[in-house]
Amino acid sequence: MTARMTRRLVTVSVAVAGTLWLTGCGLLKPRPSQVVGNFLANVERSELQEAVLSVSTRLRQMLGDGKLMAGLEEQGKQMRSRGGIASIRTASERITGDIARVSSIVQFKNGSTTNENTKLIREGHDWKIDADK
């Protein structure tokens, strides 16, 4: 093995180890805007169990599983009636301590748009969708 190959192998190994370390430390967790985008995409695709994982414990307890699932199903039907999501653009993301507020512009395939303002709270190392009281 040449010295150049050895240096390249060491560089790649350090990069992989650093990425794994950052992931393990929670530094590469999704930002609040990514959580909102993933949540909306899951609701649109009727992947409601996956969508519920993005909802805060407090909100899940407040609504109850039945009411929450029914609301998500209705939201998904409304999205699909517009042809589904064409794009989600983050207009703003503000993080203050353990609370984040995300403003998103959702464009649907039928050309209509909607503005979504979402509050998130940090639970452990993860951002979860919450609601104002």
Q: What are phi and psi of 131, to 5 degrees?
A: -140, 150
Is residue 102 domain-shared with residue 50, that is, in the same domain?
A: yes
Is residue 38 domain-shared with residue 24, that is, in the same domain?
A: no
- Per-residue tokens: 5: 């190959």
The structural domain count of the chain equals: 2
Is residue 22 domain-shared with residue 42, that is, in the same domain?
A: no
pTM > 0.85: no
List the CATH number of the domain containing 108: 3.10.450.50
Angle made by CA atoms 86, 104, 69, in degrees to the nearest 5: 80
One digit per residue, pLDDT tens: the chain, 133 residues?
676 656 665 565 555 554 444 444 456 799 999 999 999 999 999 999 999 999 999 999 999 989 999 999 999 999 999 999 999 999 999 999 999 999 999 999 999 999 999 999 999 999 999 987 6
User: What is the DSSP annotation of 40-69?
Assistant: HHHHHTT-HHHHHTTB-HHHHHHH-HHHHH
Is residue 78 domain-shared with residue 122, that is, in the same domain?
A: yes
